Protein backbone atom coordinates (compact mmCIF):
# COMPACT_ATOMS: atom_id res chain seq x y z
CA UNK A 1 0.00 0.00 0.00
CA UNK A 2 1.33 3.46 -0.84
CA UNK A 3 1.61 6.19 1.78
CA UNK A 4 -1.17 8.10 -0.01
CA UNK A 5 -3.47 5.08 0.15
CA UNK A 6 -2.68 4.55 3.85
CA UNK A 7 -3.36 8.23 4.59
CA UNK A 8 -6.63 8.09 2.68
CA UNK A 9 -7.74 5.07 4.71
CA UNK A 10 -7.14 7.07 7.88
CA UNK A 11 -8.65 10.23 6.42
CA UNK A 12 -12.02 8.69 5.52
CA UNK A 13 -12.44 7.64 9.16
CA UNK A 14 -12.23 11.17 10.45
CA UNK A 15 -13.13 13.48 7.54
CA UNK A 16 -16.17 13.19 5.23
CA UNK A 17 -14.86 11.53 2.09
CA UNK A 18 -11.36 11.86 3.49
CA UNK A 19 -11.03 15.44 2.29
CA UNK A 20 -11.83 19.03 3.19
CA UNK A 21 -13.20 19.95 -0.24
CA UNK A 22 -15.11 17.50 -2.46
CA UNK A 23 -13.26 17.58 -5.79
CA UNK A 24 -9.98 16.68 -4.06
CA UNK A 25 -11.35 13.20 -3.37
CA UNK A 26 -10.69 11.92 -6.93
CA UNK A 27 -13.88 9.85 -6.51
CA UNK A 28 -15.28 11.08 -9.82
CA UNK A 29 -12.37 9.49 -11.68
CA UNK A 30 -12.58 6.34 -9.57
CA UNK A 31 -9.29 6.70 -7.76
CA UNK A 32 -7.89 7.96 -4.46
CA UNK A 33 -6.15 11.26 -3.86
CA UNK A 34 -2.41 11.70 -3.86
CA UNK A 35 -1.39 13.26 -0.56
CA UNK A 36 0.88 16.16 -1.43
CA UNK A 37 3.89 16.80 0.75
CA UNK A 38 5.54 19.73 -1.00
CA UNK A 39 5.63 21.77 -4.17
CA UNK A 40 8.12 23.84 -6.07
CA UNK A 41 7.88 25.65 -9.38
CA UNK A 42 5.56 23.66 -11.65
CA UNK A 43 6.01 20.47 -9.61
CA UNK A 44 4.11 18.72 -6.85
CA UNK A 45 5.64 15.94 -4.73
CA UNK A 46 3.47 13.39 -2.96
CA UNK A 47 4.09 11.51 0.29
CA UNK A 48 5.48 8.58 -1.70
CA UNK A 49 8.11 10.74 -3.36
CA UNK A 50 6.39 10.87 -6.78
CA UNK A 51 6.86 14.02 -8.83
CA UNK A 52 4.05 15.55 -10.91
CA UNK A 53 3.82 18.46 -13.33
CA UNK A 54 0.94 20.31 -11.71
CA UNK A 55 -1.91 21.68 -13.83
CA UNK A 56 -4.15 22.64 -10.90
CA UNK A 57 -1.94 25.24 -9.24
CA UNK A 58 -3.99 25.10 -6.02
CA UNK A 59 -7.04 25.72 -8.27
CA UNK A 60 -5.68 29.03 -9.46
CA UNK A 61 -3.52 30.98 -7.04
CA UNK A 62 -0.12 29.67 -8.13
CA UNK A 63 0.28 31.75 -11.26
CA UNK A 64 3.97 32.28 -10.42
CA UNK A 65 4.48 28.60 -9.66
CA UNK A 66 4.75 26.97 -6.25
CA UNK A 67 6.91 28.22 -3.41
CA UNK A 68 7.85 31.49 -5.08
CA UNK A 69 10.80 32.77 -3.05
CA UNK A 70 9.66 36.39 -2.88
CA UNK A 71 6.20 35.44 -1.69
CA UNK A 72 7.62 32.97 0.84
CA UNK A 73 10.06 35.60 2.08
CA UNK A 74 7.27 38.13 2.61
CA UNK A 75 5.22 35.54 4.50
CA UNK A 76 8.17 34.53 6.70
CA UNK A 77 8.81 38.16 7.62
CA UNK A 78 5.14 38.74 8.42
CA UNK A 79 5.06 35.60 10.61
CA UNK A 80 7.92 36.93 12.71
CA UNK A 81 5.80 39.96 13.58
CA UNK A 82 2.89 37.81 14.81
CA UNK A 83 0.14 35.80 13.14
CA UNK A 84 -2.99 37.79 13.86
CA UNK A 85 -3.92 40.91 15.77
CA UNK A 86 -7.63 41.37 15.07
CA UNK A 87 -6.78 45.02 14.51
CA UNK A 88 -6.09 47.37 11.62
CA UNK A 89 -2.67 46.91 9.96
CA UNK A 90 -0.58 48.68 7.32
CA UNK A 91 -0.44 45.73 4.86
CA UNK A 92 -4.26 45.83 4.58
CA UNK A 93 -4.07 49.43 3.43
CA UNK A 94 -1.24 48.66 1.03
CA UNK A 95 -3.04 45.72 -0.58
CA UNK A 96 -6.30 47.68 -0.83
CA UNK A 97 -4.46 50.61 -2.45
CA UNK A 98 -2.77 48.26 -4.88
CA UNK A 99 -6.04 46.58 -5.88
CA UNK A 100 -7.77 49.96 -6.36
CA UNK A 101 -4.87 51.19 -8.49
CA UNK A 102 -4.86 48.09 -10.68
CA UNK A 103 -8.58 47.68 -11.35
CA UNK A 104 -10.27 50.76 -12.81
CA UNK A 105 -13.79 49.70 -11.71
CA UNK A 106 -12.69 49.43 -8.07
CA UNK A 107 -12.54 52.49 -5.84
CA UNK A 108 -12.89 50.67 -2.52
CA UNK A 109 -12.36 47.09 -1.47
CA UNK A 110 -13.12 44.86 1.53
CA UNK A 111 -10.89 41.87 2.33
CA UNK A 112 -12.47 38.59 3.39
CA UNK A 113 -11.18 35.03 3.72
CA UNK A 114 -12.45 33.11 0.68
CA UNK A 115 -14.15 33.44 -2.67
CA UNK A 116 -17.38 32.13 -1.17
CA UNK A 117 -17.37 34.87 1.43
CA UNK A 118 -16.54 37.54 -1.16
CA UNK A 119 -19.47 36.58 -3.37
CA UNK A 120 -21.92 36.13 -0.52
CA UNK A 121 -21.04 39.61 0.76
CA UNK A 122 -21.17 41.24 -2.69
CA UNK A 123 -24.67 39.86 -3.21
CA UNK A 124 -25.80 41.22 0.16
CA UNK A 125 -24.32 44.58 -0.74
CA UNK A 126 -26.03 44.62 -4.15
CA UNK A 127 -29.35 43.87 -2.46
CA UNK A 128 -28.76 46.53 0.17
CA UNK A 129 -27.80 49.12 -2.42
CA UNK A 130 -30.68 48.50 -4.82
CA UNK A 131 -33.22 47.62 -2.10
CA UNK A 132 -34.21 44.70 -4.31
CA UNK A 133 -34.03 40.96 -3.61
CA UNK A 134 -33.70 38.94 -6.78
CA UNK A 135 -30.43 38.02 -8.43
CA UNK A 136 -29.68 36.32 -11.72
CA UNK A 137 -26.96 33.68 -11.91
CA UNK A 138 -26.00 31.43 -14.78
CA UNK A 139 -26.41 27.69 -14.98
CA UNK A 140 -23.00 26.03 -14.63
CA UNK A 141 -21.37 29.06 -13.02
CA UNK A 142 -20.07 28.44 -9.51
CA UNK A 143 -19.89 31.22 -6.99
CA UNK A 144 -18.94 29.36 -3.83
CA UNK A 145 -21.12 27.35 -1.51
CA UNK A 146 -23.35 29.94 0.17
CA UNK A 147 -27.00 28.87 0.31
CA UNK A 148 -28.50 31.26 -2.21
CA UNK A 149 -25.93 30.45 -4.87
CA UNK A 150 -25.99 26.67 -4.75
CA UNK A 151 -28.44 26.61 -7.60
CA UNK A 152 -27.40 24.94 -10.83
CA UNK A 153 -23.80 25.50 -9.81
CA UNK A 154 -20.99 23.97 -11.85
CA UNK A 155 -17.70 22.62 -10.54
CA UNK A 156 -17.85 20.08 -7.71
CA UNK A 157 -21.65 19.98 -7.72
CA UNK A 158 -21.62 19.24 -11.44
CA UNK A 159 -18.89 16.63 -11.10
CA UNK A 160 -20.59 14.75 -8.32
CA UNK A 161 -24.00 15.02 -9.99
CA UNK A 162 -25.51 16.95 -7.08
CA UNK A 163 -27.63 19.58 -8.82
CA UNK A 164 -28.55 21.47 -5.69
CA UNK A 165 -27.45 20.84 -2.14
CA UNK A 166 -29.44 19.22 0.63
CA UNK A 167 -29.83 21.53 3.58
CA UNK A 168 -30.57 24.65 1.55
CA UNK A 169 -34.07 25.82 2.49
CA UNK A 170 -36.25 26.73 -0.50
CA UNK A 171 -36.62 30.18 1.02
CA UNK A 172 -32.90 30.78 0.54
CA UNK A 173 -33.02 30.25 -3.20
CA UNK A 174 -36.43 31.68 -4.06
CA UNK A 175 -34.83 34.93 -5.18
CA UNK A 176 -32.12 33.25 -7.26
CA UNK A 177 -33.14 33.29 -10.91
CA UNK A 178 -31.09 31.20 -13.33
CA UNK A 179 -30.27 32.08 -16.90
CA UNK A 180 -28.20 30.35 -19.56
CA UNK A 181 -24.58 31.41 -20.00
CA UNK A 182 -24.00 32.97 -23.44
CA UNK A 183 -27.75 33.24 -24.05
CA UNK A 184 -28.67 36.86 -23.56
CA UNK A 185 -32.31 36.16 -24.36
CA UNK A 186 -32.65 34.13 -21.16
CA UNK A 187 -31.53 37.19 -19.18
CA UNK A 188 -33.78 39.51 -21.14
CA UNK A 189 -36.69 37.23 -20.28
CA UNK A 190 -36.10 37.66 -16.54
CA UNK A 191 -35.75 41.42 -16.84
CA UNK A 192 -38.93 41.59 -18.92
CA UNK A 193 -40.84 39.63 -16.27
CA UNK A 194 -39.53 41.25 -13.09
CA UNK A 195 -36.82 43.79 -13.93
CA UNK A 196 -37.71 46.13 -11.09
CA UNK A 197 -37.10 43.35 -8.53
CA UNK A 198 -33.65 42.33 -9.79
CA UNK A 199 -30.76 43.58 -7.66
CA UNK A 200 -27.90 42.11 -9.64
CA UNK A 201 -26.64 39.81 -12.34
CA UNK A 202 -23.64 37.79 -11.22
CA UNK A 203 -21.45 36.10 -13.80
CA UNK A 204 -18.09 34.46 -14.20
CA UNK A 205 -16.90 36.59 -17.12
CA UNK A 206 -15.17 33.47 -18.42
CA UNK A 207 -17.12 30.49 -17.11
CA UNK A 208 -14.45 28.30 -15.52
CA UNK A 209 -16.49 25.86 -13.48
CA UNK A 210 -18.02 23.93 -16.37
CA UNK A 211 -14.64 23.50 -17.98
CA UNK A 212 -13.70 26.78 -19.62
CA UNK A 213 -16.36 28.57 -21.64
CA UNK A 214 -15.45 31.96 -23.10
CA UNK A 215 -18.16 34.61 -23.35
CA UNK A 216 -19.53 34.98 -26.88
CA UNK A 217 -18.87 38.38 -28.45
CA UNK A 218 -21.56 40.74 -27.18
CA UNK A 219 -22.61 38.61 -24.19
CA UNK A 220 -20.87 40.59 -21.45
CA UNK A 221 -21.68 43.87 -23.22
CA UNK A 222 -25.31 42.76 -23.32
CA UNK A 223 -25.32 42.08 -19.58
CA UNK A 224 -23.88 45.54 -18.93
CA UNK A 225 -26.58 47.10 -21.10
CA UNK A 226 -29.44 45.14 -19.48
CA UNK A 227 -28.25 45.98 -15.96
CA UNK A 228 -27.95 49.68 -16.84
CA UNK A 229 -31.37 49.74 -18.45
CA UNK A 230 -33.00 48.11 -15.42
CA UNK A 231 -31.16 49.68 -12.49
CA UNK A 232 -29.49 46.39 -11.53
CA UNK A 233 -25.82 45.92 -10.61
CA UNK A 234 -23.46 43.84 -12.69
CA UNK A 235 -21.17 41.67 -10.56
CA UNK A 236 -18.17 40.00 -12.13
CA UNK A 237 -17.02 37.00 -10.13
CA UNK A 238 -13.32 37.16 -10.90
CA UNK A 239 -12.28 34.60 -8.29
CA UNK A 240 -10.67 32.64 -11.13
CA UNK A 241 -10.06 35.24 -13.83
CA UNK A 242 -8.86 38.03 -11.53
CA UNK A 243 -5.13 38.79 -11.95
CA UNK A 244 -4.93 35.73 -14.22
CA UNK A 245 -6.12 36.81 -17.65
CA UNK A 246 -4.19 40.02 -17.09
CA UNK A 247 -3.40 42.36 -14.22
CA UNK A 248 -6.90 43.85 -14.57
CA UNK A 249 -8.61 40.48 -14.94
CA UNK A 250 -11.41 39.62 -17.34
CA UNK A 251 -12.83 43.13 -17.09
CA UNK A 252 -9.64 44.48 -18.61
CA UNK A 253 -9.39 41.61 -21.08
CA UNK A 254 -12.89 42.23 -22.43
CA UNK A 255 -13.14 45.93 -21.69
CA UNK A 256 -16.32 45.83 -19.57
CA UNK A 257 -16.69 47.62 -16.23
CA UNK A 258 -18.79 45.79 -13.65
CA UNK A 259 -20.27 47.59 -10.64
CA UNK A 260 -18.86 45.07 -8.18
CA UNK A 261 -16.10 42.49 -8.49
CA UNK A 262 -15.23 39.51 -6.35
CA UNK A 263 -11.76 38.03 -5.99
CA UNK A 264 -10.11 35.03 -4.39
CA UNK A 265 -7.22 32.76 -5.30
CA UNK A 266 -4.36 34.94 -6.63
CA UNK A 267 -5.24 37.91 -4.43
CA UNK A 268 -4.06 35.83 -1.46
CA UNK A 269 -0.91 34.48 -3.11
CA UNK A 270 -1.85 31.02 -1.84
CA UNK A 271 -3.15 32.11 1.57
CA UNK A 272 -6.90 32.18 2.38
CA UNK A 273 -8.01 35.58 1.06
CA UNK A 274 -10.98 36.86 -0.86
CA UNK A 275 -12.12 40.39 -1.57
CA UNK A 276 -14.97 42.36 -3.04
CA UNK A 277 -14.86 45.87 -4.34
CA UNK A 278 -16.38 48.42 -6.64
CA UNK A 279 -17.63 51.96 -6.87
CA UNK A 280 -17.17 54.09 -3.76
CA UNK A 281 -20.86 54.99 -3.73
CA UNK A 282 -21.79 51.33 -3.41
CA UNK A 283 -18.96 50.22 -1.14
CA UNK A 284 -19.70 52.96 1.39
CA UNK A 285 -22.84 51.09 2.23
CA UNK A 286 -20.75 48.38 3.93
CA UNK A 287 -20.48 48.49 7.76
CA UNK A 288 -19.22 50.40 9.66
CA UNK A 289 -19.97 53.25 7.22
CA UNK A 290 -23.27 51.91 5.94
CA UNK A 291 -26.04 49.54 6.83
CA UNK A 292 -24.88 46.36 5.08
CA UNK A 293 -23.30 44.26 7.81
CA UNK A 294 -20.29 42.11 7.00
CA UNK A 295 -17.39 41.23 9.28
CA UNK A 296 -14.58 38.74 9.91
CA UNK A 297 -12.19 38.00 12.78
CA UNK A 298 -9.39 36.95 10.44
CA UNK A 299 -10.25 39.27 7.53
CA UNK A 300 -7.19 41.21 6.38
CA UNK A 301 -4.94 38.82 8.32
CA UNK A 302 -1.40 40.25 8.20
CA UNK A 303 0.26 37.05 6.95
CA UNK A 304 -2.33 36.59 4.21
CA UNK A 305 -2.03 40.27 3.25
CA UNK A 306 1.75 39.94 3.00
CA UNK A 307 1.41 36.99 0.63
CA UNK A 308 -1.17 38.78 -1.55
CA UNK A 309 0.82 41.98 -1.58
CA UNK A 310 4.00 40.18 -2.63
CA UNK A 311 2.20 38.26 -5.38
CA UNK A 312 0.35 41.26 -6.84
CA UNK A 313 3.45 43.45 -6.65
CA UNK A 314 5.44 40.94 -8.69
CA UNK A 315 2.63 40.74 -11.25
CA UNK A 316 2.30 44.52 -11.43
CA UNK A 317 6.05 44.97 -11.85
CA UNK A 318 6.21 42.39 -14.64
CA UNK A 319 3.47 43.10 -17.16
CA UNK A 320 5.45 41.02 -19.65
CA UNK A 321 4.62 37.90 -17.58
CA UNK A 322 1.04 37.90 -18.84
CA UNK A 323 2.12 38.21 -22.45
CA UNK A 324 4.60 35.41 -21.98
CA UNK A 325 2.21 33.13 -20.09
CA UNK A 326 -0.75 33.71 -22.40
CA UNK A 327 1.46 33.25 -25.47
CA UNK A 328 2.91 30.01 -24.17
CA UNK A 329 -0.55 28.82 -23.18
CA UNK A 330 -1.94 29.64 -26.63
CA UNK A 331 0.73 27.47 -28.26
CA UNK A 332 0.12 24.67 -25.72
CA UNK A 333 -3.62 24.51 -26.34
CA UNK A 334 -3.10 24.77 -30.10
CA UNK A 335 -0.72 21.80 -30.02
CA UNK A 336 -3.23 19.92 -27.87
CA UNK A 337 -5.83 20.50 -30.55
CA UNK A 338 -3.43 19.24 -33.22
CA UNK A 339 -2.79 16.02 -31.29
CA UNK A 340 -6.51 15.42 -31.00
CA UNK A 341 -6.91 16.16 -34.71
CA UNK A 342 -4.21 13.58 -35.47
CA UNK A 343 -5.94 11.02 -33.28
CA UNK A 344 -9.17 11.47 -35.23
CA UNK A 345 -11.07 11.96 -31.99
CA UNK A 346 -13.72 14.67 -32.03
CA UNK A 347 -12.69 16.35 -28.78
CA UNK A 348 -12.72 20.09 -28.25
CA UNK A 349 -10.27 22.43 -26.57
CA UNK A 350 -11.54 25.73 -25.17
CA UNK A 351 -9.10 28.28 -23.79
CA UNK A 352 -8.75 31.89 -22.76
CA UNK A 353 -5.28 33.06 -21.75
CA UNK A 354 -3.71 30.48 -19.47
CA UNK A 355 -7.06 28.83 -18.63
CA UNK A 356 -8.11 25.89 -20.74
CA UNK A 357 -10.17 22.72 -20.91
CA UNK A 358 -10.06 19.61 -23.06
CA UNK A 359 -13.65 18.45 -23.46
CA UNK A 360 -14.36 14.84 -24.26
CA UNK A 361 -17.15 15.66 -26.65
CA UNK A 362 -17.59 16.29 -30.35
CA UNK A 363 -19.97 19.13 -29.56
CA UNK A 364 -18.65 22.66 -29.44
CA UNK A 365 -18.96 23.78 -25.80
CA UNK A 366 -20.61 27.17 -25.45
CA UNK A 367 -22.85 26.68 -22.40
CA UNK A 368 -23.90 24.26 -19.65
CA UNK A 369 -25.96 22.00 -21.92
CA UNK A 370 -23.10 21.50 -24.37
CA UNK A 371 -20.58 21.03 -21.51
CA UNK A 372 -22.77 18.23 -20.17
CA UNK A 373 -22.34 16.26 -23.41
CA UNK A 374 -18.76 15.48 -22.34
CA UNK A 375 -17.97 11.83 -21.76
CA UNK A 376 -16.90 11.87 -18.11
CA UNK A 377 -15.96 8.16 -18.14
CA UNK A 378 -13.52 8.73 -21.00
CA UNK A 379 -12.16 11.74 -19.12
CA UNK A 380 -11.67 9.62 -15.98
CA UNK A 381 -9.59 7.08 -17.92
CA UNK A 382 -7.46 9.83 -19.44
CA UNK A 383 -7.03 11.62 -16.10
CA UNK A 384 -5.85 8.46 -14.34
CA UNK A 385 -3.40 7.74 -17.15
CA UNK A 386 -1.92 11.23 -17.00
CA UNK A 387 -1.65 11.26 -13.19
CA UNK A 388 0.03 7.86 -13.21
CA UNK A 389 2.49 9.27 -15.78
CA UNK A 390 3.44 12.28 -13.72
CA UNK A 391 0.94 14.87 -15.00
CA UNK A 392 -1.36 16.09 -12.24
CA UNK A 393 -4.76 17.07 -13.65
CA UNK A 394 -7.91 18.12 -11.82
CA UNK A 395 -9.97 14.97 -11.31
CA UNK A 396 -12.98 16.45 -13.08
CA UNK A 397 -13.96 17.12 -16.66
CA UNK A 398 -15.46 20.40 -15.51
CA UNK A 399 -12.42 22.04 -13.94
CA UNK A 400 -10.00 24.32 -15.73
CA UNK A 401 -6.36 23.64 -16.52
CA UNK A 402 -4.23 26.32 -14.83
CA UNK A 403 -0.80 27.14 -16.24
CA UNK A 404 1.84 29.08 -14.35
CA UNK A 405 4.97 31.03 -15.22
CA UNK A 406 6.94 27.95 -14.19
CA UNK A 407 5.41 25.82 -16.93
CA UNK A 408 8.30 26.10 -19.36
CA UNK A 409 8.05 25.12 -23.02
CA UNK A 410 10.03 22.01 -22.05
CA UNK A 411 7.49 20.94 -19.42
CA UNK A 412 4.57 21.69 -21.72
CA UNK A 413 6.20 19.62 -24.46
CA UNK A 414 6.70 16.76 -22.02
CA UNK A 415 3.01 16.92 -21.13
CA UNK A 416 1.95 17.03 -24.78
CA UNK A 417 4.17 14.01 -25.38
CA UNK A 418 2.23 12.06 -22.73
CA UNK A 419 -1.03 13.17 -24.31
CA UNK A 420 0.13 12.09 -27.75
CA UNK A 421 1.12 8.72 -26.33
CA UNK A 422 -2.35 8.34 -24.81
CA UNK A 423 -4.42 9.54 -27.74
CA UNK A 424 -2.32 8.41 -30.70
CA UNK A 425 -0.56 5.37 -29.17
C1 LIG B 1 -15.73 31.66 -9.81
C2 LIG B 1 -15.65 31.22 -8.39
N3 LIG B 1 -16.28 31.93 -7.44
C4 LIG B 1 -16.22 31.58 -6.14
C5 LIG B 1 -15.52 30.49 -5.73
C6 LIG B 1 -15.44 30.13 -4.28
O7 LIG B 1 -14.17 30.38 -3.81
P8 LIG B 1 -13.63 29.63 -2.49
O9 LIG B 1 -13.43 28.20 -2.87
O10 LIG B 1 -12.37 30.35 -2.17
O11 LIG B 1 -14.66 29.81 -1.43
C12 LIG B 1 -14.84 29.71 -6.68
C13 LIG B 1 -14.07 28.53 -6.27
O14 LIG B 1 -13.41 27.90 -7.04
C15 LIG B 1 -14.92 30.08 -8.05
O16 LIG B 1 -14.31 29.37 -8.99
- Please name the residue whose Cα sits nearest to atom 9 of ligand 1: 115
Index of the ligand 1 atom closest to the CA of residue 209: 16
State the Cα–Cα distance between residues 346 and 149, nearest whole angstrom.
Answer: 34
Instruction: Kindly state if the Cβ of 237 falls inside 6 Å of ligand 1.
Output: yes
Given the residues 55, 142, 322, 333, select the one marked as catalytic.
Answer: 142
- CB of 145 closer than 8 Å to CB of 130: no
Q: Is the pLDDT of residue 160 over 60?
A: no
What confidence category does residue 54 fall into, taking pLDDT thresholds of 50, 70 and 90? Answer: very high
Same fold, 3-67+319-424 and 69-317: no
Bridge partners (DSSP) of residue 201 are 136, 234
Is the CB of 239 inside a 6 Å radius of any atom of ligand 1? yes
Ligand 1 neighbourhood includes 144 CB (under 6 angstroms): yes
Which pLDDT value is given to residue 165? 84
At residue 425, the pLDDT reads 87
pLDDT band at 231 (very low <50, low <70, confident <90, very high): very high
- Residue 157: pLDDT band by 50, 70, 90 thresholds? low
Ordered DSSP codes for 227-282: HHHHTPEEEEE-TTTTTTSSTTHHHHHHT---SEEEE-GGGGBTBS-EEEEE-HHH
Instruction: Kindly give the distance from the C-alpha atom of residue 79 to the centroid of ligand 1, in angstroms, as a whole number.
Output: 26
With bands split at pLDDT 50, 70 and 90, how would you rate the model's confidence at 346?
confident
Average pLDDT over residues 350-376: 97
Of all atoms in ligand 1, which is nearest to the CA of residue 116? 11
Catalytic residue among 46, 54, 237, 259: 237
What topology is assigned to 3-67+319-424 in CATH?
3.90.1150
Q: Ligand 1: which residue has its CA nearest to atom 4?
A: 143
154, pLDDT greater than 80: no
**Rounded to a whole number, what is the distance in angstroms from the first to the last CA of the chain?**
30
For residue range 87-121, list pLDDT tens digits in order: 999 999 999 999 999 999 999 999 999 999 999 99
Model confidence at 344: pLDDT above 60: yes
In this model, does residue 164 exceed pLDDT 90? Answer: no
114 close to ligand 1 (CB < 6 Angstrom): yes
Residue 202 Cα to ligand 1 midpoint, Å, equals: 13
How many angstroms does the Cα of residue 155 sit away from the middle of ligand 1? 9
Q: What distance in Å separates the CA atoms of residue 318 and residue 221, rounded to the nearest whole number?
A: 29
Average pLDDT score over residue span 366-378: 96
Residue 27 has a pLDDT of 87
264 Cβ inside 6 Å of ligand 1? yes
Active-site residue, selected from the candidate residues 54, 265, 322, 382 = 265
Rg of the chain's alpha carbons, rounded to an integer?
21
CA 164 – ligand 1 centroid, Å: 16
Domain 69-317 sits in CATH at 3.40.640.10
- pLDDT score at 163: 53
Query: What residues does each domain of the chain span?
Result: 3-67+319-424, 69-317
Ligand 1 centroid – CA 144 distance (Å):
5
Residue 86 has pLDDT above 60, yes or no: yes
Q: What average pLDDT does the structure give for the chain?
A: 95
Residue 150 has pLDDT above 60, yes or no: yes
Q: pLDDT, tens digit, for every residue of 392-401?
A: 999 999 999 9
Q: Where are the alpha helices (DSSP H) in 107-214?
A: 115-130, 155-159, 170-173, 184-194
In angstroms, what is the span from residue 116 Cα to ligand 1's centroid? 6
pLDDT at 379: 95
Active site residue 265: yes
Residue 28 pLDDT level (bands cut at 50, 70, 90): confident
pLDDT reported for residue 162: 53
Amino acid sequence: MTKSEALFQRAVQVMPGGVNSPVRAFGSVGSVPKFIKSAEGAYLYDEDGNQYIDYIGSWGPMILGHANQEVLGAVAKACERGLSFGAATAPEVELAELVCSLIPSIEMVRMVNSGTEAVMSAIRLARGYTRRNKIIKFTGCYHGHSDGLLVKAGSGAMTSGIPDSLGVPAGCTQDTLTAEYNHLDSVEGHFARCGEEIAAVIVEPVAANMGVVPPKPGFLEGLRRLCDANGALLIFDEVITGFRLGIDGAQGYYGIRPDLTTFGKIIGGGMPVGAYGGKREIMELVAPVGGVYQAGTLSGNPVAMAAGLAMLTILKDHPEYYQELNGRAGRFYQRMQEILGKSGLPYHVNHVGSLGCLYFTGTEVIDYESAKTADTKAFAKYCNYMVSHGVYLAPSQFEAIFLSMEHTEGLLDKTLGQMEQYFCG
